[in-house]
Structures are given as structure tokens and as C-alpha cells.
Amino acid sequence: MSEQVPGFSTLAIHAGAAPDPTTGACITPIYQTASYAFKDIEEAAQLFGLEKFGNIYGRLTNPTQGVLEERVAALEGGVAALAVSSGHAAQFIVFHTLLQPGDEFIASRKLYGGSINQFGNSFKSFGWKVVWADPDDIDSFEKAVSPRTKAIFIESIANPGGIISDIEAIAKVARRAGVPLIVDNTMASPYLCRPIEHGANIVVHSATKFLGGHGNSLGGIIVDAGTFDWTRDGRYPLLSEPRPEYNGLVFNKNFGNFAFAVACRALGLRDLGPCISPFNAFMILTGIETLPLRMQKHVENALAVAEFLSDHPKVAWVSYAGLKGDRYHTLQQKYAPKGAGAVFTFGLRGGYEAGVTLVKSVQLFTHLANIGDTRSLLIHPASTTHKQLNDSQKVAAGAGPDVVRLSVGIEDAADIIADLAQALDRID
């Protein structure tokens, strides 16, 4: 056996996978089944009691899903992972495992609009309170900490503005507060940024985006870094106290450094049910095999497009950390040195109406509410993804009326630029 440590591209193809033991199939099969037969009564009892790992029911585990989980955990440098039905489901399961009614968590106010709505509105039904902090002001995270704080949440590269969070500095705030740092790494993917290396304790993804990469499947991923002590101060009872539904089992005691991932599955996924379909797990696995190739092309194209737009007379500003003059360029060089991602925003001098004209005029770009596709995508956040926010919230989230968001695809850069050029020419 070679002692060579596998590189990223090798892991993207091989991690978690092996030929099917029954058929010899090289590609991980789609295990399209709702449930699984037990060998005997003793095995069934062990599985239901979490004394043995294995397949019970499709809401909890699936062999196709299992390969996806192992692969993303390996790419992120975590100890275990859980795949679920969407990125929002991943966030929900994480906070369900961490929070009790009356608890608080701190979140960057520069987030995907759907997350802002989920945190600020839907989570109220569970008695969970979000306290917003400014990613450009690390002290705002420190000041937001209270005795009720149970977690800090940020995005490595923020959607839609493309700003780079200072993960290491915010991780220090989390450690001083004695709470885990959760990082949404959707926009960067582990190819560009590995938050665990900078102090993150939990990483989440919308696997719908760059991991899958083809706009054809929904999925979410939770990665457990295995670096947080869940026993401290009794602040996380689902992990540190005996669980009556498992005959007094204590997750942290029984499962050690991957206790969080197990608890997310055995408590959250079991009872709340947002499982990923085997087919979607298969599609995302297939997409991950080309992740490094796609991401490199994405960032090369995105930089070329950003440079074109920054010199265009009808463009007021471009927010892309890959540009040398961008305020986040230094942080990008630290956390995502291979590139600043493929999603960024720019502002049109003509404001809202100019944005509408641009959207109507593009031909190669597709107008839709997604990112991370092989195709170049475009949207006007103020009227779509961030529409549920008021004007001040839109501006704070980087989605003001003049803002257009691009997700630059892997077509030829010259064709992408030509399409934007002709559309900009149609703006009065």
C-alpha cells in the first residue's frame, strides 16, 4: 500500500467509495429502497439501540447517501457528515441539535436571503432567537455574546455579495464564548476554502450548488469537525445528557468526537425527517467527481467577467474579492487562495430599471434563483431572492435595488462577456 496522502482530486473521485460487493459495479449504485432486512433479532436490536452502525430505514441511512457523506467529510477534513434534503434542512437539523427554547445564536447579517428569513422568522416558532452581527466588525460578534448564546453562524463567502469572512478571527470569538462556530461553505466549496482548518466546528452546505454543480438535484450536508467539547457547562443537553429514547445513552460519551453528527441523524433526521433521496445523493456524488475541474474554470471565468464589468461605464461598482483592489482581497488570499468563487454582485448606474433591462436582455445567461451551475446564471436579488426583506435589510444584505448577482458558469469566458456586453448596451 502506498503511504501517499490522497490529494483533493483523488478524494473527490474515490473517498467513501468501493466497487459494489455483489455486482462489482464501479460506480456507487442508487440503492432505491425504503427499508432493509435484518440478519436476525440481535442485529435489529443493536441497530435500533445505536450499539451498531448499519441500515434500518431510508429516512435515516442509505448506502448511496453514506458514500456521499464520507466523501464530503474527507474533502472538508471532518470526522463525519450527514446528508439531508436541502441546505435549509441542514441548517435546521444543526440548530435543532444545539438549541432549546429561549436560546440564542449569533449570525452574520451578510447571508443568503433565505437564511436571513429562516433565522429571523421561521426559527421564532421554536423559541430560537438570532442576534445579528457585522462580518466587517469582529467586535460586533463579541458584543453579541450573552449567557444564552449557543452558536455563531457565518458564510465563508457570502451570498450574494461575495464578501470573505474572517473565519479565524470569528472562531476565536466562538472559543472565548464556549460555543461552536458553524460555517456555511456553499459558495466556496472545500476546493477553495476548508473552514475547519481555520477553526470552524461545523460546516454546512447546500449541495444543490457547487458540490452537485449541474443544477439537477437538491441536497444539503452537515460536516462535524470533531473538535468541540459538548460536555461543557451542560449547555448542549441533547449531546451531554442521557437520552430517554435510547435507554439513557449519552451521545458525547458513546460516540466521542463524532457525537454531533450521530445526534443530528439519530435525533434530528429521525424525528423531523428531511432525508435526501438516493437518486439526489447519486447525482451529487457524480458532480463532486469533477468539482476541482469545475471550480478552477468557474473562478478563472469569474475573474475575467469581474474585470470586464469593473471597466464598463454603465457599472457603478463590482464586489468581487478576486479583484486586487477589492476590500476583501487580502482575506481572499488567506482563506481562498485558489480563487474568490464564481458568484458576485455588481451595481448598475441606472438602478432598479437598469437591472430589469439587463435581465430581460441577456441571451446566454439564464435568469433563475440558483447558483453553482455549469451554466452562467443571473438574478436581480431585490425582486427575487431577497424580496421578503425590507429595503434596509436588502441593503444590509448586499441586495439593494441596483444590485445584480451573477453565478459565472464554465462556458467560454469570451462568450459570457459578449452576452453581458450586448445586454449592457441596451440600457439607456
Q: What is the pLDDT of residues 202-217, one digit of tens each?
A: 999 999 999 999 999 9
Q: Quick one: pLDDT at residue 322?
A: 97
In the numeric block, which cell numbers belong to residue 207?
449541495
Question: What confidence tens digit (pLDDT) does each residue in 243-273 have?
Answer: 999 999 999 999 999 999 999 999 999 999 9
Lowest-pLDDT choice from 83-92, 94-103, 182-191, 350-359:
350-359
Residue pair 123/130 in contact by the 8 Å Cβ criterion: yes
Phi/psi for 426 (5° steps) reads: -85, -5
Q: Is the pLDDT of residue 106 over 50?
A: yes
Q: Quick one: pLDDT at residue 91?
A: 98
Angle, CA of 355, 324 and 158, to the nearest 5°: 55
Q: Is the pLDDT of residue 383 over 80?
A: no
Q: Quick one: pLDDT at residue 1?
A: 46
Q: Quick one: pLDDT at residue 69?
A: 98
Burial of 112 (0-12, 13-18, 19+ CB in 10 A): buried
Q: Is the pLDDT of residue 296 over 60?
A: yes
In the numeric block, which cell numbers belong to residue 189?
466549496
Percent of the chain with pLDDT over 90: 88
* 357 secondary structure, DSSP code: H
Q: Is the pLDDT of residue 384 over 80?
A: no
In the numeric block, which cell numbers belong to residue 80?
463525519
Residue pair 213/66 in contact by the 8 Å Cβ criterion: no
Q: Quick one: pLDDT at residue 21?
A: 87
User: Band of the pLDDT at 397, cuts 50, 70, 90?
Assistant: low
User: Band of the pLDDT at 218, cuts 50, 70, 90?
Assistant: very high
Q: Quick one: pLDDT at residue 2?
A: 64
| Core vs surface per residue 161-187: b (16+ CB within 10 A) or e | bbbbbbbbebbbbbeebebbbbbbbbb
Question: What confidence tens digit (pLDDT) does each residue in 32-75 have?
Answer: 999 999 999 999 999 999 999 999 999 999 999 999 999 999 99
Q: In the block, which residue shows the cell 425527517?
A: 273
Q: Is the pLDDT of residue 132 over 80?
A: yes
Other C-beta atoms lying within 10 Å of the C-beta of residue 422: 13
Query: Which H or E element spans position 195?
Result: none
Query: In 3D, which of 203, 180, 215 has the Cα closest to residue 83?
Result: 203
User: Band of the pLDDT at 369, cuts 50, 70, 90?
Assistant: confident
Q: What are the residues whose beta carbons fall under 8 Å from the beta carbon of 5, sequence distance 6 or more?
A: none
Q: Is the pLDDT of residue 278 over 90?
A: yes
Q: Quick one: pLDDT at residue 61?
A: 96
**Is the full-model pTM beyond 0.85?**
yes
Phi/psi for 32 (5° steps) reads: -85, 80
Query: In 3D, which of 223, 198, 140 has the Cα closest to residue 334?
Result: 198
Q: Quick one: pLDDT at residue 390?
A: 80
Q: Quick one: pLDDT at residue 113?
A: 83
Q: Quick one: pLDDT at residue 381?
A: 79
Q: Is the pLDDT of residue 309 over 80?
A: yes
Q: Is the pLDDT of residue 126 over 90?
A: yes
Computed on alpha carbons and rounded to an integer, the radius of gyration of the chain in Å comes to 22
